Structure 1
């Protein structure tokens, strides 16, 4: 991370400020220092932006800056309630309408990646979707002995890996500067957040891992209804090429087409939100890039069709319980439960008051309860959250960053489809079902089975520890049978004694952990 990274960071800041990126943020709802910072950087905005409020040039600027900045723009595009409807519309082109790469490169990319299997892909169309990382073509897959089928062929953009790594180094540079010049930001762990995003993006750059993610999710949802994903064609998969069955649907952002096809947008919004929560809470494995460019609706069934599984999120059982309890607490207005879980998982330092934090959570939850999405100003909620995180010195949990980002995306997508959406009413069946199962006999038996497995694994290590201790004792007896060398003998005895104590304590700890 050399001087070039800092230069790239400052260049990106200049371009974003020049093209009006900071004008779309809800400055009036932010803390004073952030509000002042936005005012200062807006001094370099183009006159056309300040005059019209349009950020139509921002799409091109974000694309030139790199894929990480495009991801930022994609998220803003799903939140017209925060950045305004015009800015969201201007940014929506980042989701799947980016300029494609040279079509003359496609045959060479496929041949190099797939070898002889590339010949089985025919009738390759021009790009049907192009985003920051990759683009998608429609094609026909002809395998001997099997009827031809229509498939989607996804290819990484040439050079995208280098652009991504340059972006990441600049973000690391920004995180380092924040920690040095804004010590209060350290509680937000900017370096660890960048590291988490870096890891997820590295995975996105290997389409073999995306194929594996589709396969795993297919197993998880095989008994579900309302949520459809494509099927991987494994013989046509490589690091930079992914082939799946073609899924045909109406883009969920095309409200006119949805209405013309008779798709119930309210039901579709519920399916998107409930599907996401079911995958996150029940399976601990969820689609972490559910912007409108990746979501379609089946024109016959109204089911959700999801594509692009490059960024996936995982939650441990502890984190899934945290999410379920938080949602259930807001649904039932049990703000004490919500507050306590924030302390349990480490969001709020233990020296803070649970009672005071409960009061702060109530100040957020009560105005939202029983209100539809159209009645809620998410910009004001965002500003209130900033104030509370600073007041209670809340810590960032990097492993939950993808979950938080995904919930912002999904909630924004759902409320765009249904402005009257009541997220608590929609979420309640999924959350309550999982909590009933976890607290019921099945959940208890699974917990018991997990404890037994861990205990048996710990016990399985005990014979090895005992054998090592016996070997140490045998070596000690051998040394004792030799003519004494007092200083050396004392040193050896001390080392052997310490080793024996460590082994015994290790065995004890393994047994204790199993409980």
Structure 2
């Protein structure tokens, strides 16, 4: 039975949070009601002596999460993408959550590589160094190909990491269900959906073939982007537990002094980071979901290099258009249009007052636009926006959360290079270009062509669908209760719809 094991894991978690002083921080961040606070204290306080101590030099929440192990560290990273759940301030803290763990032995990594790839490591790599980075799920080694001498990065999953994550994720599901049962108000934040989102990300990261596929697709999408590089995967040297890719040589974006000393234009880099992210999100609908300083470098020629594609964001074309209109509404300070977009997209319930919502959005945007460039903050905007949307009953949009959070992280990275960057001025040309290409006459023509192609492909199915609809309606009219034929709105609708589809299909062929 998993129930007792889950309860025990939750008790150990609560005890660690109590022992490290993180319990109050977490409950305050979630604005937890009294019954949730009481349950958390009951789970943690009597068993404080069972909790892990953690590193006393770290802040309480970071200390607790790192003490509890890899699954909690990864969950903390995912929560950093959910400011609607933990608050913007705490999400910012979790973004920089320490993700370095003691590495496992290099010899173990070599054994795993040989087992997965079917050859001794010395046959594949002329050099294989000690790990250069060790994170919650995997560690990375710098190596050199035996055949060509090219430098590569070899990422290796931690041994037995899948089983360890499975146990903790099961407890997370149990805990999320308890939170929703104890506090119905938290259902708007969808705790169980958060855990499902986390599980999906982790399952993807536990199969490095999927990360290789993401890197390959991202490289293909961005091949024409100026001053941007994506290390290519080496498929023949990769497997579920192993990922070999080009080595990314450059200066980490976390080392601003070194970037400045190398003569790179910090302001240009800051603007380029923001514009590239928006371009990938709006143009491609496929973006890097973990663009912090540790996953970005500056090449000697000034190009930006992105790597580590375990967390990628994906949004459909309709949502991209809505997001672009929302961004443009704020940029143009057109709050009536901004409110209309929220209502038309179904983001805000129809029974709310559009004029009142527009005024609330004005209260969000105006204080930010009234500030100077160094004070214009996407983090502040999202913080205010979450308050407004909660007041108007807007449900959490899970498909936008990673996009919104990544933009906050990207803003932080850009501001570390240029504190005076005006994010709206940098974003405007990208958003305007997207809107002109996807919401104007050219977009309408393109959409019409897509509809016609779809109808044309479906034409062979139309006769059968129409005959089936007529037959079903006749059968319905011939039941004992309805022997007398009579006019049916349903039948008329089916017939009219079928005729309309056939007419459009014929038009597409002419």
Shorter-chain TM-score category? 0.7 to 0.9
Q: Report the count of equivalent residues.
A: 482
Shift of 1:246: 0.8
Cα distance per residue 1:204-248 (max 9 Å; x no partner): 211111111111111111111132110111101101111111111
In 2, distance between residues paired with 1:324 and 1:379? 18
Aligned to 2:355: 355
Cα 1:186–1:437, aligned 2, differ >3 Å: closer, same or farther?
same
Shift of 1:363: 0.9
In 2, distance between residues paired with 1:71 and 1:105? 23
In 1, distance between residues paired with 2:232 and 2:150? 12
In 1, distance between residues paired with 2:410 and 2:434? 20
Cα 1:187–1:83, aligned 2, differ >3 Å: closer, same or farther?
closer
Shift of 1:151: 0.6
Q: SS where residue 309 of structure 1 aligns? A: coil
Whether the 8 Å contact between 1:232 and 1:244 is mirrored in structure 2 is yes
Cα distance per residue 1:459-511 (max 9 Å; x no partner): 232134357679999xx9xxxxxxxxxxxx978x99xxx9x979967983993
Cα distance per residue 1:184-213 (max 9 Å; x no partner): 222233323322332222112111111111
Shift of 1:12: 2.5
Aligned to 1:272: 273
The answer for unaligned runs of 5 or more in structure 1 is 47-52, 477-488
Q: SS where residue 248 of structure 2 aligns? A: coil
Shift of 1:427: 0.7
Aligned to 1:131: 135
Whether the 8 Å contact between 2:368 and 2:381 is mirrored in structure 1 is no
The two structures, once aligned, show a CA RMSD in angstroms of: 4.1
Whether the 8 Å contact between 1:26 and 1:83 is mirrored in structure 2 is no
In 2, distance between residues paired with 1:470 and 1:57? 68
Whether the 8 Å contact between 1:128 and 1:137 is mirrored in structure 2 is yes
Give the number of the structure with larger relative contact order, counting CA–CA contacts within 8 Å between residues 6 or more apart. 1
Aligned to 2:125: 121
Cα 1:26–1:322, aligned 2, differ >3 Å: closer, same or farther?
farther
Shift of 1:413: 2.2
Whether the 8 Å contact between 2:256 and 2:416 is mirrored in structure 1 is no
Aligned to 2:498: 508
Whether the 8 Å contact between 1:454 and 1:514 is mirrored in structure 2 is no
Aligned to 1:171: 172
Q: SS where residue 129 of structure 1 aligns? A: strand
TM-score, length of structure 2 as denominator length: 0.81
Shift of 1:347: 2.5
Whether the 8 Å contact between 2:140 and 2:154 is mirrored in structure 1 is yes
Larger mean CA deviation between 377-386 and 127-136 belongs to 377-386
In 2, distance between residues paired with 1:67 and 1:460? 54
Whether the 8 Å contact between 1:74 and 1:291 is mirrored in structure 2 is no
Shift of 1:340: 2.2
Larger mean CA deviation between 277-286 and 402-411 belongs to 402-411
1:99 aligns with 2:102: yes
Q: SS where residue 351 of structure 1 aligns? A: coil
Whether the 8 Å contact between 1:25 and 1:82 is mirrored in structure 2 is no
In 2, distance between residues paired with 1:12 and 1:453? 55
TM-score, length of structure 1 as denominator length: 0.81
Shift of 1:282: 0.5
1:82 aligns with 2:72: no
Alignment of 1:471-490 (within 5 A): none
